[in-house]
């Protein structure tokens, strides 16, 4: 494909709703990252996958956040019972190999929780 694809581009949710954000990385990329970017801030690490294995989820802010990558390609970030503080841009990035290689970012999903 042309790059990392994220959908939806925008998501508006009522407080308490569950949302699912999708990331389609570049084909063949081993590593996949999720970041949360609040307004005026840099991206903050949420979780990391190497193929289908979630090797690091230390950045997930609460147990309402869950991510999966069952077949080692497409990943979904799920947020249960959304809160207003979850409003942010959620960025997905992938890289061909492990550490040291550059990250390719998607355009992000802008989540607004009302």
Partner 1 sequence: AQRVTQPEKLLSVFKGAPVELKCNYSYSGSPELFWYVQYSRQRLQLLLRHISRESIKGFTADLNKGETSFHLKKPFAQEEDSAMYYCALGYNFNKFYFGSGTKLNVKP
* Identified binder of partner 1 from the candidate list 9, 15, 18, 41, rule CB under 8 A: 41
4 vs 82, beta carbon nearer partner 1 = 4
The interface with partner 1 within residues 58-97 (CB under 8 A) comprises: 91, 93
Q: Rule CB under 8 A: is residue 24 a binding residue for partner 1? A: no
State the distance between the two ends of the chain, measured CA to CA, in whole angstroms: 34
Compute the distance between CA of residue 10 and CA of residue 17 in angstroms, rounded to an integer. 15
- Give the alpha-carbon dihedral of 45, 58, 80, 41, to 10 degrees: -30
Q: Rule CB under 8 A: is residue 98 a binding residue for partner 1? A: yes
Q: Phi and psi at residue 108, in whole multiples of 5°?
A: 90, 160
* Identified binder of partner 1 from the candidate list 23, 65, 94, 108, rule CB under 8 A: 108
Residues lying near partner 1 in the complex (CB under 8 A): 3-4, 31, 33, 35, 40-45, 48, 50, 55-56, 91, 93, 98-100, 102-108
């Amino acid at each position: 494909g042309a790059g990392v694809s994220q959908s939806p581009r925008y998501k508006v949710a009522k407080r308490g709703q569950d949302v699912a954000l999708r990331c389609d990385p570049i084909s063949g990329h081993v590593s996949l990252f999720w970041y949360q970017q609040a307004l005026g801030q840099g991206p903050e690490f949420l979780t990391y996958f190497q193929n289908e294995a979630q090797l690091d989820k230390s950045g997930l802010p609460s147990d309402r956040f869950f991510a999966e990558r069952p077949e080692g390609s497409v990943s979904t970030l799920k947020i249960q019972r959304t809160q207003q503080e979850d409003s942010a841009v959620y960025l997905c990035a992938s890289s061909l190999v492990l550490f040291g290689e550059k990250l390719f970012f998607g355009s992000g999903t802008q989540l607004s929780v009302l």
